[in-house]
Chain A
Amino acid sequence: MEGFESLHSILKGIEVRKERKESKGELTFKSLDLRNITKRFPGVLANDNISLNFKAGEIHALLGENGAGKTTLMNILYGIYHPDSGEIYINDQKVDIRSPRDAIAYGIGMVHQHFMLVQTHTVGENIALGFKDSPFVMPTREISKKIGDFCDTFGLKVDPNAKIWQLSAGEQQRAEIIKALLRGAKVLILDEPTSVLTPQEAEELFQIFKRMAESGNCIIFITHKLEEVFKISDRVTVLRQGKVIATTETGKTDKATLARMMVGRDISFEVQKKDIPVGEKLLEVNNLFVRGDMGNTVVKNISFSIHRNEIFGIAGVSGNGQRELVEAITGLRKVEKGTVKILDKETQNKNPRDIGELGVSHIPEERLRFGIVPNLPVYENVILRDYYRPPFSGFLTLNINYIKEYSKEVVERFSVMTPSVETTVKLLSGGNIQRLIIGREILSRPDVIIAAHPTYGLDIAATDFVKKLLLQKREEGSAILLVSEDLEEILQLSDTVGVMFMGEFTGIVKPRETSMEDMGLMMAGSKKWA
């Protein structure tokens, strides 16, 4: 540590500026090569002999399904993981990246999907953290000035004195980008950068990408959205099951080809939705107010109703009150003011079991926390909802045999891939856990289904399965509340869409009569419909 040196200079009242060693990142960056990278996690071959090339001035998309190994590969490049074998070359010189510190020194920066920011600190403090060019005493004052300069160069606007938790996801992302650029990043890796943005914010981000690429940087962005690949990238690499399937220039390929490479088979983007008239009103929410974890009101005066044979979608960037709204309806969170009526009974502030017994199913947002008990076997998770009543239990005991038979039926009908019903649930993949939860929740023919982010993190096949199932339930007469960040999914499935921003509906619209642009504006809170 530079302790004595620093204390000495405090006494003198001088800021220490450590002699700036000539960092390797200041050389002109030309190319970056990954050669034969292999990385194994217990039970998974995450990266299988991957070779890839990135060039200065290009925007390179890394496309693949969840679990294809994209993030692992980039974490290796950024020094967070160490590859089991393989080499990294910068400008055809072999480099040894053992930690993020090394990566930063070589001019590599990364913006993770879940931002690596200290929520309670300011933007300035986050940027000063571990930053060799910031002064020892009062580091944030100096940093604020530098941030100002940067804002002008790349059009990145962010207030250095704002606390991270007060910022929107888009602003936090900009803070992350500035953090990387200030450290001299020539190669910027972004992991699913648009997943938290409104369409307009994503557009702004793409403009920033372009400006950065024009000034000779290399942008690598991880995505599973084909649209983005075509909108912005120069080249695209498809990964599947840890292997590189192909790298091509984006202009020379098309959506269907990439999709086939990504999934390994042909897939249809069509979802068949029948036109059917809606039935009677099953769920009605009136002037609902709900408080968030911090005690502030995060659901403000929300009203809507859902009928039989109707899917009501709630769109919006996450964190705008969707979670609290769902929790209030399902009885997990206290309602401050207003009413929730299910089948004409007022259910606000009833407990979740009472609400469930009225015929409400809940496919929860955080499935590992609220959907299952990870350490229990499949058959016990299948009856989590109804274990206390016949036919699953008698007066005192569980009917284990019946439960196992029933579980086998659920597993079969919903194609849950599990060695047996006695397998511990946490050993299943995310998609199979979701199939299990959905199976449990809708096999009992519920009148109302509350589905929060039902396809989040699922691969294409599982997503397809979930979408079809929701549509099938709609035809069978359920009223479905669908909350999702995936705008396309919302527009595809819903009969009516409510757009939430800062706890309020900025619009309730019909998907067919609304453009993506209008949706985006409503998600950003700038347009109001009655």
Chain B
Amino acid sequence: MNFVSYITSILERALVAGTPLLLATVGEILTERSGIMNLGLEGLMAIGAVTSLGVILGTENLFLGVLTAIAVGGLMSTIHAFISINLRGRQILSGLAISMLGLGLSGLLGRRYVGIPLPVYFEPIKIPYLSRIPILGEAVFTQNAFFYISVALTIIIWYILFRTKWGITIRSVGENPLAADALGVNVTKVRYICTIIGGCLAGLAGAQLSLGYIHLWIEGMVGGRGWIAIALTIFSTWNPLRAFLGSYLFGGVYALQFQLQGIGISPNILLMLPYISTLVALLVTSGATSRKRIGAPSSLGEPFIKGEK
């Protein structure tokens, strides 16, 4: 393997590995911008991965599989929304419960599917002309549909958050729900919508893992990616565009794992890499954000109590 194709393949793998992180992170950014913290990503991704795979093994319909993952992710995050918004429960606990529920349920559902290779999966789509650009073009424009969709969704969500009236509404609800309420904004509705969309994206991220990346189901396949996405939400300072950087950086770490294993570095050390990188990233950003006043939405994790004293 020559050097250029080596670089190209690392880059290409980095983007594949970064895509589920990007989807989950952007979903979490949207959720947290509205003031709800959903720590259930790991479980939502797992359940998304296993249900979409199950549907495809049954129907061989890719579209139906992805749709199922999105729907299940949205449905499970509705539970979180109900606990956090209506019952005003502890969001951290509810999120952890969703995470465990998703992991447990996916293990149970997925027992029959373990190791079965997929009959169909998302093939890379070569974009004409662009994919012939050396290195960058070959890596970026030969990805499967998940990659293109995730990029588009990230940009759309960024645009909505920072360039539209909805964005002002969502961010205001996350910063100061009292102010939004006093102007007639329905805080509950906004938070529900954002939490559910966030869950849908986590489900989609799960589908990417099983249908567009690993192509089979193994229990524990999500491997902490949900938690990394939560860290990436902080790392990207709640801005979808910065999530690109973080996701592909971590995608690169995953890609390197395999490459470095090839040159004889202990796989155990390599397996630790994403988690060590997460710690480092959090250490660096937490310090920087607290200095610059660009922090978490002010009412993140706090229930909104309307009306009565």
- Interface residues of A, Cβ cutoff 8 Å to B: 41, 78, 80-82, 99-102, 104, 110, 112, 116-121, 125-126, 128-131, 134-140, 165, 179, 294-295
Q: A41 CA to B309 CA in the complex, in Å? A: 7
When distances are taken between beta carbons in the complex, the residues of chain A under 8 Å from B164 are 136-139
B114 in the interface, Cβ–Cβ < 8 Å? no
B163 in the interface, Cβ–Cβ < 8 Å? yes
Q: A179 CA to B183 CA in the complex, in Å? A: 9
User: What's the minimum C-beta distance from B185 to chain A, rounded to whole angstroms?
Assistant: 4
Q: A523 CA to B144 CA in the complex, in Å? A: 64
Count chain B CB atoms within 10 A of each CB in A80, A82, A134 and give the residue with the most.
Answer: A80
What 6 A-B pairs have minimum CB-CB distances, sorted nearest first? A101-B184, A130-B183, A116-B179, A116-B182, A118-B175, A130-B185
Count chain A CB atoms within 10 A of each CB in B171, B175, B183, B298 and give the residue with the most.
Answer: B183
Give the nearest-CB partner of B291 in chain A: A295
When distances are taken between beta carbons in the complex, the residues of chain A under 8 Å from B175 are 118-121
B168 in the interface, Cβ–Cβ < 8 Å? yes
Contact B172 A129 (CB under 8 A): yes
User: What's the minimum C-beta distance from A451 to chain B, rounded to whole angstroms?
Assistant: 28
Q: A134 CA to B180 CA in the complex, in Å? A: 15
Contact B183 A136 (CB under 8 A): no
Q: A119 CA to B294 CA in the complex, in Å? A: 12
B293 in the interface, Cβ–Cβ < 8 Å? yes
Contact B185 A117 (CB under 8 A): no
Q: A139 CA to B298 CA in the complex, in Å? A: 23
Please encode chain B, from 279 to 309, with 1 for each CB lying within 8 Å of some chain A CB and 0 for all others: 0000000000001010000100000000111
Give the nearest-CB partner of B295 in chain A: A120
Contact B163 A128 (CB under 8 A): no
When distances are taken between beta carbons in the complex, the residues of chain A under 8 Å from B308 are 41, 81
B48-105 CB contacts (< 8 Å) to partner A: none
Given contacts A116-B178, A137-B163, contact A104 B183 (CB under 8 A): yes
When distances are taken between beta carbons in the complex, the residues of chain A under 8 Å from B112 are none
Contact B307 A80 (CB under 8 A): yes
Count chain A CB atoms within 10 A of each CB in B168, B178, B185 and give the residue with the most.
Answer: B168
Given contacts A118-B172, A121-B175, A136-B165, 8 further A-B contacts (CB under 8 A): A80-B182, A116-B179, A118-B175, A118-B179, A120-B298, A130-B185, A134-B165, A137-B164
Give the nearest-CB partner of A105 in chain B: B184
Give the nearest-CB partner of B293 in chain A: A294
Give the nearest-CB partner of A130 in chain B: B183
When distances are taken between beta carbons in the complex, the residues of chain A under 8 Å from B172 are 118, 121, 125-126, 129-130
B219 in the interface, Cβ–Cβ < 8 Å? no
Contact A119 B184 (CB under 8 A): no
B176 in the interface, Cβ–Cβ < 8 Å? yes
Which of B168, B291, B298 is within 8 Å of A129, CB to CB? B168
User: What's the minimum C-beta distance from B242 to chain A, rounded to whole angstroms?
Assistant: 17
Given contacts A100-B184, A130-B184, A138-B163, contact A117 B179 (CB under 8 A): yes
Give the nearest-CB partner of B183 in chain A: A130
Please encode chain B, from 3 to 35, with 1 for each CB lying within 8 Å of some chain A CB and 0 for all others: 000000000000000000000000000000000
Which of B163, B165, B176 is within 8 Å of A118, CB to CB? B176
Contact A139 B184 (CB under 8 A): no
Contact B298 A128 (CB under 8 A): no
Give the nearest-CB partner of A135 in chain B: B165
A-B contact pairs, 19 of them (CB 8 A): A81-B307, A99-B184, A116-B182, A117-B179, A118-B171, A119-B298, A121-B172, A128-B165, A129-B168, A129-B169, A130-B180, A130-B184, A131-B165, A134-B165, A138-B163, A138-B164, A139-B164, A139-B165, A294-B293
When distances are taken between beta carbons in the complex, the residues of chain A under 8 Å from B171 are 118, 121, 125
User: What's the minimum C-beta distance from A6 to chain B, rounded to whole angstroms?
Assistant: 8
Give the nearest-CB partner of A102 in chain B: B184
When distances are taken between beta carbons in the complex, the residues of chain B under 8 Å from A116 are 176, 178-179, 182-183
Give the nearest-CB partner of A16 in chain B: B165
Q: A138 CA to B166 CA in the complex, in Å? A: 10
When distances are taken between beta carbons in the complex, the residues of chain A under 8 Å from B165 are 128, 131, 134-137, 139
Q: A135 CA to B176 CA in the complex, in Å? A: 22
Q: A135 CA to B307 CA in the complex, in Å? A: 29
Contact B307 A125 (CB under 8 A): no
User: What's the minimum C-beta distance from B156 to chain A, rounded to whole angstroms?
Assistant: 10
Contact A129 B293 (CB under 8 A): no
Q: A100 CA to B171 CA in the complex, in Å? A: 19
Please encode chain B, from 107 to 141, with 1 for each CB lying within 8 Å of some chain A CB and 0 for all others: 00000000000000000000000000000000000
When distances are taken between beta carbons in the complex, the residues of chain A under 8 Å from B182 are 78, 80, 100, 110, 112, 116
User: What's the minimum C-beta distance from A245 to chain B, rounded to whole angstroms?
Assistant: 23
Q: A381 CA to B309 CA in the complex, in Å? A: 25
Q: A472 CA to B168 CA in the complex, in Å? A: 54
Contact A131 B183 (CB under 8 A): yes
When distances are taken between beta carbons in the complex, the residues of chain A under 8 Å from B291 are 295
Q: A135 CA to B175 CA in the complex, in Å? A: 22
Which of B168, B176, B180, B293 is within 8 Å of A139, CB to CB? B168
When distances are taken between beta carbons in the complex, the residues of chain A under 8 Å from B176 are 116-119
Q: A118 CA to B163 CA in the complex, in Å? A: 17
User: What's the minimum C-beta distance from A133 to chain B, rounded to whole angstroms?
Assistant: 11
User: What's the minimum C-beta distance from A399 to chain B, rounded to whole angstroms?
Assistant: 38
When distances are taken between beta carbons in the complex, the residues of chain A under 8 Å from B181 are 80, 100
User: What's the minimum C-beta distance from B183 to chain A, rounded to whole angstroms?
Assistant: 4
B168-200 CB contacts (< 8 Å) to partner A: 168-169, 171-172, 175-176, 178-185
Count chain A CB atoms within 10 A of each CB in B175, B182, B309 and give the residue with the most.
Answer: B182
Give the nearest-CB partner of B189 in chain A: A1
When distances are taken between beta carbons in the complex, the residues of chain B under 8 Å from A100 are 181-184
User: What's the minimum C-beta distance from A137 to chain B, rounded to whole angstroms?
Assistant: 6
Q: A273 CA to B137 CA in the complex, in Å? A: 84
Q: A295 CA to B298 CA in the complex, in Å? A: 18
Given contacts A80-B307, A82-B307, A137-B163, contact A121 B184 (CB under 8 A): no
When distances are taken between beta carbons in the complex, the residues of chain A under 8 Å from B183 are 100-101, 104, 116, 129-131, 179
When distances are taken between beta carbons in the complex, the residues of chain A under 8 Å from B179 are 116-118, 126, 129
Q: A129 CA to B185 CA in the complex, in Å? A: 8
User: What's the minimum C-beta distance from A371 to chain B, rounded to whole angstroms?
Assistant: 21
User: What's the minimum C-beta distance from B34 to chain A, rounded to whole angstroms?
Assistant: 13
Q: A112 CA to B307 CA in the complex, in Å? A: 14
User: What's the minimum C-beta distance from A132 to chain B, rounded to whole angstroms?
Assistant: 9
When distances are taken between beta carbons in the complex, the residues of chain A under 8 Å from B180 are 118, 129-130
Count chain B CB atoms within 10 A of each CB in A120, A121, A128, A129 and give the residue with the most.
Answer: A129
Q: A81 CA to B298 CA in the complex, in Å? A: 24
Count chain B CB atoms within 10 A of each CB in A120, A128, A137 and give the residue with the most.
Answer: A120
User: What's the minimum C-beta distance from B45 to chain A, rounded to whole angstroms?
Assistant: 26
When distances are taken between beta carbons in the complex, the residues of chain B under 8 Å from A130 are 169, 172, 180, 183-185
User: What's the minimum C-beta distance from B168 to chain A, rounded to whole angstroms?
Assistant: 5
Q: A192 CA to B298 CA in the complex, in Å? A: 25
When distances are taken between beta carbons in the complex, the residues of chain B under 8 Å from A104 are 183-184
User: What's the minimum C-beta distance from B100 to chain A, rounded to whole angstroms?
Assistant: 31
When distances are taken between beta carbons in the complex, the residues of chain A under 8 Å from B166 are 136
Give the nearest-CB partner of B184 in chain A: A101
